[in-house]
Amino acid sequence: MGLRAEVAEAVILRPSVIYGPRDHFVCRFAGLLRFAPPGLPVPLATSLLAPAYVADVAFGLAQALTQADAVGQTYELCGPEVLSLGAIVGAIARARGRRLALWPSSPATSLRLARLFEYLPYAPFTVDQWHMLTGRPLCRR
């Protein structure tokens, strides 16, 4: 059973990927790109994301907690742009002064990479992340 079935009055917030100063999303890619070869496999590079700025998500959270009519509602907290993961990684690379060839990988290959990578220190890609990128849309528009 889902949360809504258990607690009808719950306020559900479904944020997209969140970014901001010293975040775990942009900083992780920036760190990985520092050591990346000129060609970089990008698991599920065509997956679409709508990254949301942390302050905007915090504002949405505060609004949801203070508005009486928020009871029983579900809010999608998304940024203004929908971008592919490959486009985001490419933008981070350019911002870091790196020129890379990004190699998109299929869902099956991406899952194999996730199963391998999640055992590395500071796992660069995990099975949980694979499920997130292949599951429900991260933001319904």
Instruction: Determine, yes or no, domain membership for 39.
Output: yes
Residue 18 lies in a domain: yes
How many domains does one find in the chain?
1
Residue 95 domain-assigned?
A: yes
Query: Looking at the domain assignment, is residue 53 inside a domain?
Result: yes
Please report whether residue 138 resides in a domain: no
Residue 139 lies in a domain: no
Residue 137 lies in a domain: no
pLDDT per residue as tens digits for the range 5-24: 899 999 999 888 999 999 98
Cα distance between residue 22 and residue 57, in whole Å: 16
- What does the CA dihedral 122, 125, 129, 131 come to, rounded to 10 degrees? -140
Q: Where are the alpha helices (DSSP H) in the chain?
A: 3-6, 26-34, 54-66, 85-95, 107-117, 127-134
pLDDT of residue 70: 92
Q: How many CB atoms lie within 10 A of CB 102?
A: 16
pLDDT: is 91 or 41 the higher one? 91
Boundaries of domain holding 82: 3-131
Give the CATH number, domain containing residue 122. 3.40.50.720
Structural contact between residues 69 and 34, judged by C-beta atoms closer than 8 angstroms:
no
